[in-house]
Amino acid sequence: MRKTIIVHVEGFLAQSAAHRHHPTPLERAKTPHLDHLSQTGEMAQWQVPGEARPLRGALAMLALLGYETPKCYVGSGPFVAAGLEVKLEKHDVAFLCDLVTLRSQEGWGEGKKLGPQLIMDDPCAGGITDEEARELIDAINDQLVSENIQIYLGHGHEHLMVWAGMGTKIVSRNPAEAQRQSIEPFLPTGDGSQILRELMEASRVILSHHELNQERIADGGKPANCLWMWSPGKALDLLPVSERWPVTGVVFSSDNAVLGVGSTVGLHMVRVDTVKDTMSGLLNDLAPRCLKAVGKTDFAYVHIPVDRESRGSEEAMVGLWEHLDTHLIGPLQKDFLANGQHRLVVVGTPTLSTPAPPGASDAVGLSGYLLCDPQLGMNPQPGTGFYERELATRPVKDATKFFERLVRE
């Protein structure tokens, strides 16, 4: 396999761009390096046959590495466990365990019962810090954990619960889907869901009365007043990438699920510290780190999720694209692609927070890639750019076949 860097920009693409009446942030952004590469590279949309779930995060990474996600991806829980280096036993079920903010008509509400009277105000709990989360998770562990239930500290609002002996027939939903809506239709259902609801309700009592949340409210912030359990799954036994093909790789990410996919399929994990690094600082530092890593391995998978501060702000997203182009794509074009043998892949996936218009065919969001390979020998296409409206005109390819192609070409 020729040296390859895959840059996955998570949540950077606008959803349902074809239905917008004004340019997307990516169309507005000045991205000369991406524009140049798109005029000499290959662009396409991609999907996974039989996969109805949006191709984002860990799911997208698994598909791009050639795994059939409808068969091997039950939930994110096991991958987060792997990313946190939590070993799952045979009968353990791992759940994502998010700190969220719920409110009622009367305010934040301290009532225990979860039901239609409660709204999902913020699935990210007001941007809670790691230090604050540690204090709240410690309080939960002091009062709720048992022999069968353990909660592990993750990052920000995202944590992990491992439940020994619990079945996997529970249907649970991403709390982001419930934003600004009644939580009732999104609460867990199925075998064992009542126990899970009771655990969530118990967490609400503890968190609503916690001193830290009272301080957050007094300071005009949002309380992290409930744990939301979702995306359960058992430990997976996936064939490592190096046993499928003669290649080795490394994954860079701050996302525990993405790191966990890397660990599960035998990649070296490099955790990116987004707490200490601002997004701009992170992007400035990534290019030299990637170049150093790919010097010792065959490929690097670089996952860059949009930061909370930029999400929902079109002006911030314009700036983020421009910074990405200047400080990551530009250096990789100059110092990596100039070799003539190496390849750069830019993968774009959409944000979940921008709903598609009713009846839109791209309701799960547009995903696509740009393959930059000096050996493709493609004729330049002036005026072409890497943005959503252009991607929507390109052919749709099977994501699970992409990595094998990279290995063999």
* Strand ranges in 14-64 using DSSP code E only, listed in sequence order: 42-47
Cα separation, 277 vs 311, whole angstroms: 17
Q: What is the pLDDT of residue 369?
A: 93
Using alpha carbons, select from 294, 295, 268, 346 the residue that is nearest to residue 7: 346
Render 307-355 in DSSP notation, one character per residue. PTTTTT-HHHHHHHHHHHIIIIIHHHHHHTGGGSS-EEEEEEEE-SSSP
Q: What is the pLDDT of residue 359?
A: 37
Give the type of residue at 283.
L
Q: What is the pLDDT of residue 362?
A: 42
Angle of helix 130-144 relative to helix 211-218, nearest 10 degrees, comes to 140
What domains lie within the chain, and their CATH numbers?
A: 4-74+237-408 (3.40.720.10), 92-233 (no CATH)
Q: Which helix (H) or strand (E) holds 103?
A: strand 92-103
Query: Dihedrals φ, ψ of 271, to 5°?
Result: -80, 125
Query: Dihedrals φ, ψ of 314, to 5°?
Result: -65, -40
Cβ atoms of 365 and 13 closer than 8 Å: yes
Residue numbers of the chain with a pLDDT score lower than 50: 18-19, 275-276, 353-364
Q: What is the pLDDT of residue 383?
A: 67
Q: What is the pLDDT of residue 169?
A: 80
Q: What is the pLDDT of residue 287?
A: 92
Q: What is the pLDDT of residue 360?
A: 39
* Strand ranges in 322-372 using DSSP code E only, listed in sequence order: 343-350, 368-372
Percent of the chain topping pLDDT 70: 89
Cα separation, 272 vs 1, whole angstroms: 26
Give the angle subtended at the CA of 385 by the CAs of 380 and 390, to the nearest 5°. 110
Q: What is the pLDDT of residues 341-350, one digit of tens each?
A: 999 999 998 8
- C-alpha Rg value of the chain to the nearest Å: 21
Using alpha carbons, select from 256, 90, 61 the residue that is nearest to residue 162: 90
pTM (2 d.p.): 0.90
Instruction: Kindly state the tokens that stand for 406.
Output: 């990279």
